[in-house]
Amino acid sequence: MIDLSILLDLLPTPAQAAGLLAVALVAGVIRGLTGFGAALLMVPGLSLFLHPAEAVPTSVLAIAATNLPLLPGAWRESDKRMVAVCLAGCLITIPCGIWLLAVLPAEILRRAIGASVVVAGLLLLYRGFRVRKAGHGLKLLTGAVSGLMNGSVGMGGPPVILLMLAMPLAPAVARASLLLYFTGLNAISVVGMTWAGLFTRHTLVWSLLIIPPLIGAARLGEIWFRRGSGAQFRPIAIAVLIGTGVVALAKG
């Protein structure tokens, strides 16, 4: 017979449940609209109701599940070759990023990255800041910088976001490519956290609870994107990018 007290112990309190639901709904809409940004909102948001050590793996698992229904459309519309080159660069340098974290204070790394991300986001506000054509070398370098940042402070997105927003890509292609890239990056995180034993019974239960609203909200965000023909994509994506930098500076 199942011990109900054990099951009840795994469930969040009503206040926690309401907070998790609110965070999942907002993060899901942003994810569906831009193809990224869910982790930026979910990790600090979930940390208000869960211990940070539980918030991160809960977020990673939930976002991994949210990617699945969005993948078919992203696969059709994305620049798969560019995503593959960026992911290759990322895989090469993630161990180097972990080494950087071991030899340099995380606060210094986070502040430096946060400041550079804010500057990059502000540059994107000017129409003259564009990358007319990105060769394999630039894409590989972008992925390599992403891997360094992901391994050192867990923020691998900004370099790739900056490149794709600066390129003359159609909003649908940029969004789909970002979604595909972050799906790969998220899969790497799931493998690493599983190997490190960071997923507990609590994180599994909490992830299962927020996955349905997260998927539903992501679908709404995708519908919003389609109906607006991508008109809101660039300004919202830039705002999320700058927000990432601000959060990094605040945490540093």
Q: What is the pTM of this model?
A: 0.80
Distance separating alpha carbons of residues 49 and 161, to the nearest angstrom: 29
Q: Are 220 and 71 in contact (CB under 8 A)?
A: no
Distance separating alpha carbons of residues 62 and 215, to the nearest angstrom: 9
C-alpha neighbours within 13 Å on the C-beta side of residue 78: 22
Distance separating alpha carbons of residues 155 and 139, to the nearest angstrom: 18
Q: How do the pLDDT tens digits run along the chain, 252 residues long?
A: 445 555 556 666 788 888 889 989 988 888 888 887 787 778 778 878 887 778 888 888 888 888 888 889 889 999 999 999 999 999 999 888 878 877 877 678 778 877 877 887 887 777 666 777 888 899 999 999 998 888 876 778 888 988 988 888 888 899 899 999 989 988 888 888 788 788 888 888 889 999 999 999 988 988 888 887 666 777 887 788 788 778 777 876
Q: Which helix (H) or strand (E) holds 18?
A: helix 14-34
Q: In the structure encoding, which two tokens stand for residue 106, read together?
A: 């995380």
Q: Which helix (H) or strand (E) holds 156?
A: none
In our burial notation (b when 16+ CB lie closer than 10 A, e otherwise), range 80-92 reads: eebbebbbebbee
